[in-house]
Amino acid sequence: MDATPIISADLDSLLDDVQQRTFRYFWDGAHPQSGLPYDKCLLDGTPGIDAISISGTGFGLMAILVACERGWITSDEALVRITTIVESLELAPRYHGAFSHFINPATSAMIPFSALDDGGDIVETTLLLQGLICAREYFAAETISEKSLRTAITRLFDEVEWTWYTRGKTDGPIYWHWSPINEWAMNLPITGWNEALSTYVFAAGSDTFPIDPQNYHCGWARNGAMKNGEEYFGIQLPLGEPMGGPLFLSQYSFCALNPRGLSDRYADYWRQAVAHSRINRAYCLTVPEYAAAGVWGLTASEAQAGYAANSPLVDFGAIAPSAALSSFPFVPGHAEEALRALLAYENGRLVNRFGFADAFAPKTGWVASTYIAIDQGPIVAMIENHRSGLLWKLFMAAPEVRRGLDRLGFRYPDVSA
């Protein structure tokens, strides 16, 4: 595990190595008592920030399930760690059921993300719940410990007041933040297309605080205004901003929500994810430094001047391994090419204890000194969805998910398919 993989190895061996290294971020690099994964770690594995991101925890739960399924840890080890994480989460303050963006790794106390962002973050909460729901579906045995875990996870889900975050309207969007001090000062409506599709699916599927379907159609879809339909590099993009934006927009929800065969009145979501990946790669091929290194993939990541949302229209020069590797389900051939190029880059310079460094700049030679949980997690999840569909199968079997999709008018395959 310490040596850099041989890039000529067969693909399965390389994927095993990358997934296992990256999983270790969430296992060996987590807080030793709470089990919560740090938002950021240095390349030697030590914490880079004394804070836990709630979304990163959701991705970490998925990584633990993958590791258990592949035999890198035992089922008992996975169950104990996930139970510890859930117990730590139960100590965290919630704001009408929603978690804050950051919490303290030892005490679970809220840490303000910014001056006004010191309360509930419904998108961070969604990304946590994706991992929790997958864990609940995975640990399905009738043992006392597994039943107790399932009950705790369902309680956390049922206590989220999705309707509170609509600000009392049935024909408008869900809002991203609410604070008991600053109330709605952040004033950020969640409108598509972006990473928050699962927020609306969960909100519609809630048994306790379900939103009206019109919140989705008028708020998220903006009565169809989220459609794009233009061609970039000869590739038609169904939804979203010009040239697609950062790749995480089509990856975070789809770590859990299976886009294959998923459609509604606005789009075929498999086509959306594939087109977004292809456009991002096509743009990168036009940048000489990226093309010369054989790499592609722009998303939100570290960049030389600081964390940034990299995209074809706002390119800060930083390639993030997470972007291409989390595209494995959508463009497997192109993702494999990127994987081998990333492994070979400057004789393995990008590969460290917990996988790939968060980002690098081929033009200047800069390499990030950190990993970030929300970039590491999708690598493990999306490679696994490409290989076995594990997380997709778990998530799509959850009654809250099916109920939400049905209420919003989605079409999707039978969960056993």
Torsion sign, CA atoms 177, 181, 186, 189: positive
Residue 350 dihedral angles phi and psi, to the nearest 5°: -80, -20
Which residues, 6 or more positions from 396, have their beta carbon under 8 angstroms from its beta carbon? 257, 258, 402, 412, 415
d(CA 117, CA 179): 7
* pLDDT for the residue numbered 2: 63
d(CA 273, CA 266): 14
Which residues, 6 or more positions from 359, have their beta carbon under 8 angstroms from its beta carbon? 301, 302, 303, 318, 319, 320, 321, 367, 368, 375
* pLDDT for the residue numbered 417: 45
* pLDDT for the residue numbered 150: 98
Enumerate residue ranges in the chain where pLDDT < 50: 416-417
Q: In this predicted model, what pLDDT tens digit does every residue of 358-386 receive, in sequence order?
A: 999 999 999 999 999 999 999 999 999 99
d(CA 256, CA 355): 22
- Residue 57 is inside which H or E element, if any? helix 54-69
Q: Please report, as a single letter, which amino acid is at residue 70.
A: R
* DSSP bridge pairs for 102: 53, 111
* pLDDT for the residue numbered 3: 67
Q: In this predicted model, what pLDDT tens digit does every residue of 302-334 receive, in sequence order?
A: 999 999 999 999 999 999 999 999 999 999 999
Choose among 194, 190, 187, 173: nearest CA to 309.
Answer: 194
Torsion sign, CA atoms 390, 391, 393, 394: positive
* pLDDT for the residue numbered 414: 81
Domains of the chain as residue ranges with CATH: 11-408 (1.50.10.140)
Residue 260 dihedral angles phi and psi, to the nearest 5°: -70, 115
* pLDDT for the residue numbered 353: 94
